[in-house]
Amino acid sequence: MSRKNKAIISAGIYVLLLVVLPSVGLAMAPADIVQYASIIFGKGLRSIVITFSVLGIILGCLSVVRGVVKEESYVYLISGILMPVIWYYLTLYGLGFGRPGNFGRTFILMSRDGSTMSVLIDIRIILVILGFAFALEIASTLVEFLAAREKVGDTAPEN
């Protein structure tokens, strides 16, 4: 399979997973559940789905760009760096229930029949591991880019 085809398939998967499925899920969910979830998370589910959709479209576009441009071009490098960064933000955003700044310490306040219960979810270690993983992904893109540049330099006609 060519690089271009792979990129188009990846873009399709990004759009399906981050744009289509969340939007369909939100549209099919009962209104009271959506409202209750929005109260619990302190953030509208609609705005979370919109953020996912926007980032999904950006990831899809970057995937197509990476498949079209040459490996030695700076566009390939920049898109290769941007993709893990966006993925990491998406992870922070998703696991933080719409609050990426909490960095894995999510606080949820629930009220029922006059009594209040707060829940604190701590998953910082997962985000630290994922941070390392995405940093390695960027490093791999850089090395790949350098190798491609060297390859072009070697094959270029000498004057």
Partner 1 sequence: METTIVDAKMSKEKIARIIKTFSLALIVIAMVSFAVSMFTVTETLTESLFTEETEEPIQVSVMGDPISGTLTGIASLRIVGGGVMSTNVSATLEILDAQGNTLFSGSNSTTVSPGEIKYLTMRFSISDIDLEALETLNASLRLGFRTFFNLIGMEFSTGLRSEGD
Instruction: Give least dist CB 150 to partner 1, A.
Output: 6
* Nearest Cα residue to 8 out of 60, 46, 72: 60
Instruction: Give least dist CB 116 to partner 1, A.
Output: 7
Beta bridge partners, 9, equal none
Give the count of beta carbons closer than 10 Å to the beta carbon of residue 95.
19
Closer by beta carbon to partner 1, 2 or else 118: 118
Closer by beta carbon to partner 1, 28 or else 125: 125
Closer by beta carbon to partner 1, 27 or else 158: 158
Instruction: Give least dist CB 15 to partner 1, A.
Output: 21
Helices marked H in 19-123: 21-28, 31-41, 45-68, 74-95
Closer by beta carbon to partner 1, 24 or else 135: 135
Instruction: Report yes or no: 128 and 135 within 8 Å, Cβ to Cβ.
Output: no
Instruction: Report yes or no: 94 and 53 within 8 Å, Cβ to Cβ.
Output: no
**Those residues with Cβ within 8 angstroms of residue 17's Cβ, 6 or more apart along the chain or in another chain:** 56
Instruction: Give least dist CB 99 to partner 1, A.
Output: 16
Closer by beta carbon to partner 1, 6 or else 124: 124
Q: Is 104 left (phi over 0), alpha (psi -120 to 50) or beta?
A: left
Instruction: Give least dist CB 123 to partner 1, A.
Output: 6
Please report, as ranges, the residues that interact with partner 1 according to CB under 8 A.
115-126, 129-130, 132-134, 136-137, 139-141, 143-144, 146-147, 150-151, 154
